[in-house]
Structure 1
Amino acid sequence: MYKAYKYRIYPTDEQEVLLSKSFGCARWFWNYALNLCQETYKNTGKGLSRAYIQGLLPALKKEYEWLKEPYSQCLQVVALNLSTAYKNFFDKRAMLPKFKAKHGRQSISYPQNVKFDGDYINLPKIGLVFCRRHRDFEGDIKTVTVSRNPDGKHFVSVLIDDGKEQPELVPADKAIGIDVGLKVRFVG
């Protein structure tokens, strides 16, 4: 079963700059891919697959050198998130994906290669970042999302697979109702 834990992290000034660059690159790639999806749909009536969007990255990295600065898998997760956002839209579970702004909450996701080392979390291309772990967890790390709130505070959300089975929901045969209405009001 999956569980998520959220911790506050305290990056150094250099790490804050690296995180800001990573947030910016992920945001730019999201907006670029979203614009491309919208233009393709207008012109052809068809959408773009996640594999196609991820396939754009090598050429874009040659054209825009600064896209090489963040961890490469963070940008690949952007393509996954965009395709999931479109799938949720077409399944009528969410609104149409929107462009991301520089102001507000920023985030990047690491699908692997993140480790905890005592009071620190080791993020690829960022290094060891102090993490206030107020509770421990058991299980395998699946995804780590680093976010920055508008007030400048940084957090890390860790998705864990604890290996336990998800409990089965047993459907009830009969409906149960409870009448909590009172006929007499007691004043004491």
Structure 2
Amino acid sequence: MKARYQYRFYPTDQQQQSLARLFGCVRVVWNDALAICKQSEKKPKSVELQKLVITQAKKTEARAWLSEVSNIPLQQSVADLEMAFKNFFDSCKGKRKGKKVGYPKFKKRANSQSARFRIGGFSIKDEGVYLAKIGVVKPVWSRELPASPSSVTVIKDCANRYFLSFVVEVESIQIDAKNQSIGIDLGINTFAVMSNGEKALSPCYKALDRKIRKLQRKLARQPKDSNCRNKTRVQIAKLHNQITDTRKDFLHKLSTKVVSENQTILLEDLNVSGMVKNSKLSRAISQQGWREFRVLVEAKSEKYGRNFVVINRWEPTSQSCSECGYRWGKIDLSIRSILCLNCGTEHDRDENASVNIEMVGMGHRHDLKCTSRDGKTTSVARLNEA
């Protein structure tokens, strides 16, 4: 399986100028190729686009500066556009699963920039990485590469940070699991509640979020294309990166712990796109990264040889007792403790849901018709007032 290893590096002033030139050339090639595709009745093939926007464009006076950078990232930019169109067409035809992919867009200078080098355009030398027509950059090697990379992507984010992202082939790791299975219920304040009783609290983003809102109001009052507005934009990007880095660090540590200790990991299929329509909870839900956590757990399960199961989103995991299977129906989000009217067991709402997720995923679901016959006439759970 393929994995991506990312390292930060600090280029010199001369390398920053060379990288800015490279990013600009890659962006122009992408935009020129996309403009040709929009004007054509039938989309040209990738080879034809490369001849038009690279080979023939270099001979013109308006695009002669394309020769100042390596040809490999320019060709890769056209190949990436071809892949973007393929994903768009497959999504329209229903061949691609997941959220629908939109039509490719033009690249902007203010957004994050990237350029990809294939084999032949880069090489690893001692503690540095040689990039064609850029020179040797020295990344911060926080960990070793497990194998020789097949490609490297140079990234500059909106906060003017530089990264090298390597794609390498990794092998599966066989580690004995401590537990057979675990069910996980995802939430907001408590990010994850496990069926074994463990809880993982979500990091607090409120302080950074308040700073972002204040700077966004300041940005709205500043004139466009001004230096002050650009400085404010970078400040906002840095705060967003702090939130992203904090969340990513938390999700990586939690997913690694869960996958390494359990043989089967069970999650619930959440309708996140529908849940964020709630205006009161949309910001808090968006900051949690539930989808990112699911992607990380699924990828690491494949790496460690684990079983990853996602149960149906319509399973009543929060509406039934994990002890007897009695179903009490929907309850308000403010109710966190539930007393089962059938067996008299007191449940924490999230712990009960995580146990039900594990039971449904492992095929040990209660027979609700049999267990609810001896229950009370009401099917509404209430707070334990004992």
Task: Report the Cα distance in structure 2 between the residues aligned to 1:69 and 1:10, rounded to whole angstroms.
Answer: 22
More helix by share: 2
TM-score, normalization: structure 1? 0.85
CA drift at 1:17? 0.2
CA drift at 1:30? 0.5
Aligned equivalent of 1:121: 129
Please tell me whether the aligned partners of residues 9 and 156 of structure 1 are also in contact (alpha carbons under 8 angstroms). Answer: yes
- The reply to whether residue 82 of structure 1 matches residue 81 of structure 2 is yes
CA drift at 1:150? 1.3
| Matching of residues 19-98 of structure 1 within 5 Å | 19-41=19-41, 46-56=42-52, 57-63=54-60, 64-92=63-91, 93-98=100-105
Task: Report the Cα distance in structure 2 between the residues aligned to 1:78 and 1:98, rounded to whole angstroms.
Answer: 13
Task: Report the Cα distance in structure 1 between the residues aligned to 2:73 and 2:127, rounded to whole angstroms.
Answer: 23
Determine which of 150, 153, 161 is the counterpart of 1:142: 150
Farther-moved stretch of structure 1 (49-58 vs 24-33): 49-58
More strand by share: 1
3-state DSSP of counterpart to 1:81? helix
Aligned equivalent of 1:109: 116
Please tell me whether the aligned partners of residues 104 and 150 of structure 1 are also in contact (alpha carbons under 8 angstroms). Answer: yes
For residues 142-174 of structure 1, what are the alpha-carbon distances to aligned partners after superposition, in whole Å with 9 as ceiling and x for unaligned?
11100101111100110012366x78999x9xx
Q: Which of structures 1 and 2 has the bigger CA Rg?
A: 2
TM-score, normalization: structure 2? 0.43
Aligned equivalent of 2:352: none
Please tell me whether the aligned partners of residues 139 and 163 of structure 1 are also in contact (alpha carbons under 8 angstroms). Answer: no
Determine which of 164, 167, 172 is the counterpart of 1:159: 167
Q: Cα distance 1:162–1:47, how it changes in 2: closer, same or farther (>3 A)? A: same
CA drift at 1:104? 1.4
Task: Report the Cα distance in structure 2 between the residues aligned to 1:72 and 1:101, rounded to whole angstroms.
Answer: 21
3-state DSSP of counterpart to 2:150? strand
The count of aligned residue pairs is 181
3-state DSSP of counterpart to 1:90? helix
For residues 60-117 of structure 1, what are the alpha-carbon distances to aligned partners after superposition, in whole Å with 9 as ceiling and x for unaligned?
1111221011110100001101111011000115110000101010000001232222
- The reply to whether residue 131 of structure 1 matches residue 139 of structure 2 is yes
1:68 partner amino acid: S
Task: Report the Cα distance in structure 1 between the residues aligned to 2:107 and 2:317, rounded to whole angstroms.
Answer: 48
3-state DSSP of counterpart to 1:22? helix
1:144 partner amino acid: V
1:59 partner amino acid: Q
3-state DSSP of counterpart to 1:140? coil
CA drift at 1:179? 5.9
Task: Report the Cα distance in structure 2 between the residues aligned to 1:102 and 1:179, rounded to whole angstroms.
Answer: 47
CA drift at 1:59? 1.0
Long gaps (5+) in structure 1: none
Question: Which structure is richer in relative contact order (CA contacts within 8 A, separation 6 or more)?
Answer: 1
CA RMSD of aligned residues (A): 2.8
Task: Report the Cα distance in structure 2 between the residues aligned to 1:129 and 1:36, rounded to whole angstroms.
Answer: 35
Give runs of ≥4 in structure 1 deviating > 3 Å. 166-170, 177-182
3-state DSSP of counterpart to 1:4? strand
